[in-house]
Structure 1
Amino acid sequence: MSNKYLGPADRQLIAEKWAAYASVREIAGLVGVAPKTIYEELRRGSNGTLDKNSRKAYNPELAQRRFQESLRRRGKPLNRTQAANE
């Protein structure tokens, strides 16, 4: 992955694969990031409930919203490509 941040499409892919019971390493390989990035992303998108596989549920919209809030708190603007993905 050449971007610095995960985009909404990446988060949607993570959600689909996580719901299909894919492993973190498998998802990381598909997205092109380190497994630690996927673990952090799963934490960011967790709402505290369990999914059908008895794992923490992942919500890509919640993760994107929390990511945007984090950028605003830090005062970092999105680049044009990321703003178009919103």
Structure 2
Amino acid sequence: MDLTCSLPIINALIDDQGRRFDTIDDLSDIPGNPECNEALQPGFKDKMKFVYLVPKDAKVVLWEFQEYDREASLVPSNVDLT
């Protein structure tokens, strides 16, 4: 799985107005993140930081994520951040 450069996970921060904020480009440039195209093999784990640009006055209330699958309609999971 490539956490930084491709689509295993679709995610967004959502504010109290329903606005969705995507991660910044080049997550592999964040110190401590895996390199681009570094495959995470079954049974292993790695730390990952997702970074978003969010307006200063936004009140973020949810983190939404789901596995990317072109062939299936998957329901995203939400983490309540309030």
Q: Aligning the two structures, in what range does the TM-score lie when normalised by the shorter sequence? A: under 0.3
User: Which of the pair has more CA radius of gyration?
Assistant: 2
Using CA pairs under 8 Å that are at least 6 residues apart, name the structure with larger relative contact order, 1 or 2: 2
| TM-score (structure 2 length as normaliser) | 0.27
